[in-house]
A = this chain, B = another copy of it.
Amino acid sequence: MPTATVDRASEFLGGLFNSLAERGRSLFGLTSAQPMSGDQLIALGETLLSRRGEASGVALAASLLAGYEAADEADKLAFLDALAEQFGPDLAQLNAAIEAFRAHASTEATGELLRAAEPRRQELIRRLNHAPGGTAALVRMREAVLARLASHPQLRHVDDDFVHLFTSWFNRGFLVLQRIDWTTPANILEKIIRYEQVHTIHDWDDLRARLAPPDRRCYGFFHPRLVDEPLIFVEVALTEDSPAAIAPLLDLEREPIAAEEATTAVFYSISNTQQGLAGISFGNFLIKQVVEEIKRELPNVQTFVTLSPVPGFAKWLKHERDNPDSTLLDASARTALEALDLPNWFDDADTADRLKPVVLQLAAAYFLQAKSKNGRPLDAVARFHLGNGARLDRINFLGDRSPNGIRQSHGLMVNYLYALGDIEANHEALFERGQIAAASAVRKLVPTKPVTSEPRKSNGKAGTPALTAPTA
């Protein structure tokens, strides 16, 4: 009979969030905020950095942010441009600091140099963050900066400072892992629907099927000042083995199992939610903490694996096929691959059987041989998981028959395995020696000569069955 032995001090402090949440929202309550002109915004920014800003900072910051949010496009841009220029470092001070440092490279002089080199906008942004709802407003402001970056390259430095400050404010230490389930408030849940990026959530029934069954989990990172917004979330299926295809996991009619029967946790979708926090990395931390959380709750779960898309494969393969000089493919393979251009090729079992060994070998080449200029994996999802220290565990032919899956990866999906004991070594091997961690079955698929579609004798035989072998 469970009892209420909750941590009372935490309950006491539960009230704290009321306040943060309230303030997080109050900025939007300024519905009557008048739009401000660019000049007004800039003048207010200067005031906020002045003496008066010390006395009335919170109110000034709130006014500026509300006026900015209500402003029209041109005025917003004028303010952002001013951030880039007018609120840059004080060049006179900087030059003086440099001279002083050159005269005598003392620690004092270094400190002075650091202070002088800091753009004034950093302090301005810090002060804007005092406002109720300030953090959320600044995340939106950076979203605007990012959206204008291509056409207004001078905003690059503004963006750098946002990244610098956000990295500090959204420090792992300030993030909180929260389970999201069917008892989560609807206003949070509707954001899960909206933000899901990998396998679209079609409606509330679909959402329920991902959250409510006993063999499903979802976790997100939240921040004290953006309380209604998960920053990132991951969807997890608890299973009895490592899955090779996504459709059975998402099937609304499937029979759930008891959580205690599961041996495997499958991370089948990870979505970032805040464009304004692009480049501030949470996913690495999220997966590791979820692994620990599930281990603690369900000691039987020993295997932690993803079921991941391969978003860059079709594009890469097209490039190889378009390149007559590529030695990756022999003529038979090139001919065989033409089937990929037919609609619904995958519904024909013979075609699929014929393509399977060719595609798997090419996929192994894509993951293990085809690297970017800086020696990292070509595939964005691979970069993320391998960079986190996971290992490429299995390549699944026709794991995703959805239109999007067929289009971007000819239906391929892969499993990345998170073995906590190996993460550090895998991470170092990748970044220091460019070595990609992969299961031996995957490794054996890597072609040592042009991939062929001719009948194989022994090599292929060895490779293909291994693809379906369970993870060790």
A contact set with B: CB distance below 8 Å: 1-23, 26, 51-52, 54-58, 84, 88-89, 91, 94, 98, 101-102, 105, 107-108, 110-111, 113-114, 117-119, 126, 129-132, 134-135, 154, 157, 160, 165, 167-169, 171-174, 176-179, 181-190, 203-204, 208, 212, 219, 222, 224-225, 227-228, 285, 288-289, 292-293, 296-297, 388-389, 423-424, 427-428, 431-432
Contacts and interface: CB of A to CB of B under 8 A. Distances in A.
A135 B172 CA distance: 11
Given A4-B178, A168-B169, A173-B131, A17 B16 contact: yes
Contact of A3 (B5, B52, B105, B179): B179
B129 A171 contact: yes
Count this chain's copies in the assembly: 4
Contact of A292 (B1, B8, B101, B167): B1
A36 B241 CA distance: 37
Given A5-B178, A11-B12, A203-B204, 18 more contacts: A2-B296, A3-B19, A3-B289, A5-B293, A8-B15, A11-B14, A11-B15, A12-B185, A13-B222, A13-B227, A55-B424, A84-B107, A110-B117, A129-B171, A169-B171, A174-B174, A185-B186, A186-B204
A258 to B, nearest CB: 9
Contacts of A169: 168-169, 171, 174
A4 B220 CA distance: 10
B293 A3 contact: yes
Q: Summarize A's interface: helix, strand, loop or mixed.
A: helix
Contacts of A203: 204
Question: Which 8 A-B residue pairs are closest in the complex by CB-CB distance?
Answer: A14-B14, A55-B427, A8-B183, A4-B19, A114-B117, A9-B183, A4-B15, A6-B15
Contacts of A11: 11-12, 14-15
A12 B189 CA distance: 12
Given A1-B132, A173-B131, A424-B56, A10 B224 contact: no
Given A3-B177, A173-B129, A88 B114 contact: no
Nearest to A297: B5
B126 A168 contact: yes
16 contacts: A1-B23, A1-B26, A1-B289, A1-B292, A2-B19, A9-B183, A14-B14, A14-B15, A23-B173, A51-B428, A110-B157, A126-B167, A134-B173, A135-B173, A168-B168, A169-B171
A184 B186 contact: yes
Contact of A178 (B1, B19, B178, B185): B19
A296 B4 CA distance: 13
A227 B176 CA distance: 14
Contacts of A185: 8-9, 12, 182-186
Contacts of A182: 185-187
B8 A184 contact: yes
Contacts of A292: 1
B88 A107 contact: yes
A119 to B, nearest CB: 8
Contacts of A190: 208
A52 B174 CA distance: 22
Nearest to A5: B179
Contact of A171 (B130, B160, B186): B130
Given A8-B12, A285-B58, A51 B432 contact: yes
A218 to B, nearest CB: 11
B17 A17 contact: yes
Contact of A23 (B2, B88, B110, B187): B2
B183 A7 contact: yes
A98 B114 CA distance: 12
A224 B227 contact: no
Given A22-B7, A176-B4, A189-B186, A114 B110 contact: no
Nearest to A95: B105
A388 to B, nearest CB: 8
A174 B173 CA distance: 13
